[in-house]
Structure 1
Amino acid sequence: MVNVIWACMAIIGIIYAMFNGTMDKVNEAVFESANEAVTLSIGLISVLVFWLGIMKVAEKAGILHALTKLFRPLVTRLFPDIPEDHPAMGYILSNFTANMFGLGNAATPMGIKAMEQMKQLSGSDTASRSMITFLALNTSSLTLIPTTVIAIRMQYNSISPTEIVGTTIIATIISSVCAILIDRFYYYKSVWRK
């Protein structure tokens, strides 16, 4: 549906430009945007590769394992339907750790694996309680270091690209707490109805 909306917007814009006589400006904007997108992508790739390397070093040094141990009690309370030794728990913890370091692209495959494991665990085609909680938390995306945003700010020559870290931490803590509260509210509301 979103693809259809974007296609309609592009077609309407091109038709309007044809009738308005500004097609040359549309062509110029298309090529400038394409050039800027490629430049931005290359800049983001370098930062993401750097942080993925840091994550690999942290994994080899045992830091990720320590973070996993640290967050396991909290995660087991958030997902009481999942046994502690189930593979879904490992994927969930890995996803949360990658998201905390702002590596959404690295967290996505782990999030998909976690959802697959939770689907197998529930044995149903409908979303389980754990799947809904995981989706809510993943959407709120608790982030300590917003690497992608820092990379974009560096790409556009920001004077202080890391100045957003403090506000990002505050905003994502609030969004994550709200996600948990809303998730629990609707869960207990559905239990109460039954």
Structure 2
Amino acid sequence: MVNIIWVCMTVIGIIFAMINGTMSEVNEAIFNGAKEAVTLCIGLISILVFWLGMMKIAEHAGLLQKLAHLFRPLVRKLFPDIPNDHPAMGYILSNMMANFFGLGNAATPLGIKAMEEMRKLNGDTTEASRSMITFLAINTSSLTIIPTTVIAIRMNYDSATPTDIVGPTLIATFCSTVGAILIDRYFYYRRTRKGVKK
């Protein structure tokens, strides 16, 4: 569906440019955008490699395990239908730790593995389970302590104070995560009550 939307937007943009006679500006924007994207990616690599390396050091030092252990009681309450020793729980905690440090690229494969494990628990059905919906809501809102990627982008564009984004990001992601959990629980209990009434 997303691919169709992008194709439609591209085609509409080109047709609009042809009608208005601005194809040269569109071509210039395409090449400048491609050049800037490559420059941005190269600039991000060094920062992301550094933080991924720090994550590996934290993992080997046992810091991630301690953080995961600290958050395990909360995660158990959020996902009561997942057994404590199930692989899905480990992937969920790892995904949350990666999101805490703003490493979305590292969190994505962990999130996919968590969904795969939860799907197995759900009997490999195509319908999303309660835990899958909750995890998607939390992963989308993703509480972030250190927005690594955003800091890297700000540094790449020569921001005078690239880390000023830390405080607002923490507040915004905390509010979004709490909001996601409350909305998820509201619709879950609403659906449960409807099921009981029937």
Band of TM-score, shorter chain: over 0.9
* 1:85 partnered with 2:114: no
Match of 2:104 in 1: 104
Q: 2:34, 2:18 → 1: CA distance?
A: 21
Q: 2:129, 2:18 → 1: CA distance?
A: 51
Unaligned 5+ residue runs, structure 2? Answer: none
Q: Give the letter aligned to residue 86 of structure 1.
A: H
Unaligned 5+ residue runs, structure 1? Answer: none
SS at match of 1:163: helix
Q: 2:179, 2:44 → 1: CA distance?
A: 30
Q: 2:163, 2:81 → 1: CA distance?
A: 38
Q: 2:91, 2:10 → 1: CA distance?
A: 39
Match of 1:144 in 2: 145
Match of 1:21 in 2: 21
- Cα deviation 1:9-65 (Å, max 9, x = unaligned): 222322333343322222211111110000011111221111100000000111001
Match of 1:49 in 2: 49
Match of 2:113 in 1: 113
Question: How does the TM-score come out when normalised to structure 2?
Answer: 0.94
Superposed CA RMSD: 1.1
Q: 2:194, 2:22 → 1: CA distance?
A: 59
Q: 1:8, 1:74 → 2: CA distance?
A: 43
Question: How does the TM-score come out when normalised to structure 1?
Answer: 0.96
Deviation at 1:181, TM superposition (A): 0.7
Q: 2:5, 2:68 → 1: CA distance?
A: 41
Q: Give the letter aligned to residue 101 of structure 2.
A: F
SS at match of 2:160: coil
* 1:154 partnered with 2:155: yes
Runs of 4 or more, structure 1, over 6 Å off, are none
Q: Is 40-49 or 62-71 further displaced after alignment?
A: 40-49
Match of 2:188 in 1: 187
Q: 1:80, 1:15 → 2: CA distance?
A: 52
